[in-house]
Amino acid sequence: MIYLDHHATTPVDARVLEAMLPFFTEKFGNAASRQHRFGWDANDAVERARKQVAALIGASSKEIVFTSGATEANNLGIKGVARAAETARATDGTESSDVRRDHIVTIATEHKAVLDPIGRLKQDGWRVTVLPVKHDGLVDVNVVADAVTDRTLVVSVMAANNEIGVLQPIKDLAAVAHAKGALFHTDAVQAAGKVPFDVEALGVDLASLTAHKIYGPKGVGALYVRKRTAIAAQIEGGGHERGMRSGTLNVPGIVGFGRAAEIARAEMASESARVAAVRDRLLSRLKELTGGMTVNGTMTSRLPGNLNVSFDGVDGEALLVGLDDIAVSSGAACTQAEPSHVLMALGHPKDRALASLRFGIGRGTTMDEIDRAASKVQDVVARLRKQDVRRATALGVAEGK
C-alpha cells in the first residue's frame, strides 16, 4: 500500500525511536523526581529536548511548554490567554469598554482544534470574528487589519493549512495584531520542521507544535509562549511546566520530539526540495492523465509536500473506496464524514468538496509510488465517470427523455 497521508501523521523515524527506547526501560525515571539519579537523568533528557524543539523555531528553551499534542497546545494558547485576561480584569477592576479586551479574531479555514476552543469562549461571552479567505485559500491582510480593534486580545491564524497546504503571511498578520496591542497565535503544526519558521523573525507570541507530523511519536506536543505573555493553566495539579501545564511528563515522547525536531532542522532544506519535486511530479502526472481536475489552494505559497485536488463528476465516497491501495484522505483526519469546511470556505460546492483528495507526500515517498498512485487515480476516476454517465442515461430512458 502506498502511504500518501503524511499530513495526518508520519511514521516514527528510526533515529527518533532509537533515542526514545532507553527511556522506556533503563532510564525510566519521573522527570519531577529530583531526589535521585533516575529523576535527574529524566529531567536532563527533557531539558535537552526542550532546547532541540526551541532551536527548531528560533525560541528560548524557557519558552517551550510540553503538552499532549497540538490540540492541547491550541487550547492552552487560546483559552490560556483568555482566562488570564479574565483573571486580570477581575483583579484590577478594568471593566470599562475602552480597555477591556474581550475579542478574538480567526479565519474560516482553521483546524477544529482552534475553531472549537474559540467557539467555547464565544459561548462564555467572548466576541469572536471568523474571517473569510480568498478563493486561493489566503486571507487578505487588510481584511484582518479592519477586524482587529483595541478590544482584540488575540488573533489566531494557522501558519500552514493542514488540508490545502497554503502558507499564510504570518509576519504581516502578527504585525497587524501587534499594531492594536493584541497577541498573535498560530497553529504551526504543519509548518514547523517543513518550511522555515522562526518565532522571532515572524513576531509570533504563541505557537502550537506537535511531534507526530515531523516523524516523532504521537501524544506529545508543545506550546511556544513568548516571555512575559500571561497565560492561565488549563490543567492543574502539581505546577509542572512552570505552572502552565500540570501532569507527569511523557519523557520518552518528549525525547522523541526533541530528536525529531533536531533532524528536521538539519535536513529541512534538502528534504523540502526533494518532497516538492515529488509533489510536482504528482501534479504533472494527474494533469496529464485526468481531466476535469481542480487544484485547491494557491501553488505559489504552499507546503512542499501538499497537493489537494477535486474531480468533477465523481462521487467522493466511491473515489476513496476505489483507491483501496493508496492511503489518502478527503480532508482532515478528524472530519471525514462531512465535506471539508476548508474547501467550502474556498467557495467550492458540496459535491466538489466531497470529491477531493489530499495528498501528503513525505520523507519516504518515491517517484515510482507517485507514478503508480497517479495511474490508479486515473483509472478510478475514469471508471466512476463512466458509471455516472450510464446512470444518467438509464435515468433519462426511464423518464422518457
Residues 168 and 19 in one domain: yes
Cell 495528498, located at residue: 359
Q: What angle do helix axes 112-123 and 70-92 make, rounded to 10 degrees?
A: 30
Q: What is the number of structural domains in the chain?
A: 2
Of 33 and 114, more confident: 114
356, 308 Cβ separation under 8 angstroms: yes
Residues 228 and 162 in one domain: yes
Entry pTM: 0.93
Q: Which of 51-60, 73-82, 212-221, 318-327 has the lowest mean pLDDT?
A: 318-327
Strand partners, 207: 186, 224
Phi, psi for residue 9 in degrees, rounded to 5: -170, 165
pLDDT at 274: 97
Note the pLDDT of residue 89.
Answer: 84
Residue 6: inside a domain: no
Q: Which of 219, 240, 264 is the last residue of a domain?
A: 264
Q: Which of 136-140, 223-227, 253-257, 327-331 has the lowest mean pLDDT?
A: 327-331
From 66-80, 238-252, 380-394, the region with the lowest mean pLDDT: 380-394
Does residue 219 share a domain with residue 94? yes
Residue type, 115: L
Residues 243-254 have pLDDT tens digits of 789 899 999 999
In angstroms, the CA 382 to CA 391 distance is: 14
Residue 3 lies in a domain: no
Question: How far apart are alpha carbons 393 and 262 in whole angstroms?
Answer: 58
CA angle 45–48–54, rounded 5-degree value: 140
| pLDDT above 70 (res 388) | no
Final residue of a structural domain among 245, 264, 283: 264
Domain shared by 154 and 76, yes or no? yes
CA 103 – CA 129 distance, rounded (Å): 8
Residue 307's domain is classified under what CATH number? Answer: 3.90.1150.10
Task: Indicate whether 323 and 220 sit together in one domain.
Answer: no
Identified catalytic residue from 99, 334, 394, 395: 334
Whole-angstrom distance, CA of residue 220 vs CA of residue 212: 8
pLDDT at 397: 47
Supply the DSSP symbol for 110.
S
Contacts of 247-251 with C-beta under 8 Å, sequence gap 24+, read 248/30, 248/31, 248/32, 249/30, 249/31, 249/32, 249/42, 249/46, 249/66, 250/66, 250/68, 250/219, 250/220, 251/23, 251/27, 251/28, 251/29, 251/30, 251/31, 251/42, 251/45, 251/46
In contact, 160 and 303? CB cutoff 8 Å: yes
| 244 occurs within a structural domain | yes
Q: Is residue 220 very low, low, confident or very high in pLDDT (cuts 50, 70, 90)? A: very high
Of 194, 191, 182, 155, the closest CA to residue 363 belongs to: 194
| Single-letter amino acid, residue 304 | P
Could you tell me where the beta strands, DSSP code E, fall in 112-231?
Answer: 127-131, 152-156, 183-187, 206-210, 221-225
Question: What is the predicted pLDDT for the residue at 57?
Answer: 98
Number of neighbouring beta carbons within 10 Å of residue 179: 10
User: Residue 97: its pLDDT value, please?
Assistant: 45
Using an 8 Å Cβ cutoff, are 227 and 62 in contact? yes
pLDDT, tens digit, 9 for 90 and up, residues 266-287:
999 999 999 999 999 999 999 9
Establish if 84 belongs to a structural domain.
yes
Q: Quickly tell me which residue has 480597555 as its cell.
A: 99
Residues 137 and 230 in one domain: yes
pLDDT at 392 over 60: no
DSSP string for 6-33: TTT--PPPHHHHHHHGGGGTTT---TT-
- Cβ-proximal residues to 275 (8 Å cutoff; 6+ apart), any chain: 304, 305, 361, 362, 363, 365
Domain of 351 in residue numbering reads as 268-398
Q: What is the CATH number of the domain that holds 70?
A: 3.40.640.10
Are 255 and 304 found together in one domain?
A: no
Mean pLDDT over 212-236 rounds to: 96
Residue 258 and residue 272 in one domain: no
**Neighbouring C-beta atoms of residue 200, cutoff 10 Å:** 11
pLDDT of 119 above 70: yes
Beta bridge partners of 2: 326
What is the maximum span of the chain, computed from C-alpha positions, in angstroms?
86
Q: Which three cell numbers stand for residue 75?
A: 487550547
User: Across the chain, what does the average pLDDT equal?
Assistant: 92
Range in 159-168, 317-326, 360-369 with the lowest mean pLDDT: 317-326
pLDDT score of 202 more than 70: yes
Q: Tell me if residue 110 is catalytic.
A: no
Whether residue 39 sits in one domain with residue 131: yes
Do 285 and 191 lie in a common domain?
A: no
